[in-house]
Amino acid sequence: MTERPHDPIAHRARTPDEELLAAELPTVEGQYTDDQRVERMAAEITMGFDRLRGTTRAVSIFGSARIPAGDPIYEHAREVARRLGESGFSVITGGGPGIMEAGNRGAQEAGARSIGLNIELPFEQGGNPYQDDALLFHYFFTRKIMFVRYAGAFVVFPGGFGTLDELFESLTLIQTGKVAHFPVIFVDSAYWSGLFDWIRDQLLTRGLIAAKDLELLHVTDDAEEVVAICERAMGLQWGTSTGEG
């Protein structure tokens, strides 16, 4: 006699993203209807648009939440953010600790607007104390809209999966023409060199990207060069660049 399989035991979704993305699975207990989910997404996007309206000259800084204050990479991110702030840029981060904290802290030290796009996670620390505007998101994808919509450049410091996710999504948007004149600047050449080698040796050699796609990648360890690249990008985005430099 063949035993009937037991019905799976459903667990309550641990995050709003799991509640959304795994809603059709019998092992996840849904808490909302699809109409309620769509309403929540719309409310979150509306909140972001309302809070960030008028933010036109900003740079998003990404990097690991696990790099503590005093670490050379943290202090370099703080310096880059401070230089950007002194040049009139607002700074946008994910609002958490580590490189995000360094970015918000450097912006505040320069007297620039410091914005944090915080995300609800069950296993991460809370927001850092250096945010002038702290927004809280349930969904990663609504948060990502704000990173791109209100920034004109990405500055990427060493980080893990989350940083790589944001990095490659931005490169895809640029490569496919969804955004224009939007530089992605990698800071800490020693950290990123292995990734660049792999991109050239594997993606480019196999014809999976074009040679011109490598032009999307800027790598530098110089804070002033970061500022200069951002300035050129803003000029192109706003139609004020002479095309020189």
Q: 226 pLDDT band (50/70/90 cuts)?
A: very high
| 105 pLDDT above the threshold of 60 | yes
What phi and psi, each to the nearest 5 degrees, are found at residue 207? 75, 20
179 vs 7, 34, 176, 197, 244, CA distance in Å? 47, 30, 8, 26, 21
The full set of domain ranges for the chain reads 11-41, 54-238
Q: pLDDT at position 27, please?
A: 76
Q: pLDDT at position 31, please?
A: 79
Q: 1 pLDDT band (50/70/90 cuts)?
A: very low
Q: If you average pLDDT over every residue of the chain, what do you get?
A: 89
156 vs 29, 46, 122, 241, CA distance in Å? 37, 27, 24, 24
CA angle 100, 105, 106 (to 5 degrees): 105
**CB 219, CB 192: distance < 8 Å:** yes
| 158 pLDDT above the threshold of 80 | yes
- What tens digit of pLDDT does each residue of 21-74 get? 666 677 777 777 889 889 999 999 999 999 999 998 999 999 999 999 999 999
C-alpha closest to that of 182 among 240, 230, 143, 225: 230
**CB 185, CB 77: distance < 8 Å:** no
Residues in the chain: 245
Q: Which residue has the tokens 């020189």?
A: 244
| 172 pLDDT above the threshold of 50 | yes
What gap in Å lies between CA 6 and CA 141, rounded to an integer?
Answer: 35
What gap in Å lies between CA 44 and CA 193, rounded to an integer?
Answer: 37
Class of domain 54-238: alpha beta
For residue 29, list its beta bridge partners: 12
What gap in Å lies between CA 17 and CA 102, rounded to an integer?
Answer: 27
pTM for the model: 0.88
Q: pLDDT at position 104, please?
A: 98
Q: pLDDT at position 32, please?
A: 78
Lowest mean pLDDT among 10-24, 125-139, 151-165, 168-182: 10-24
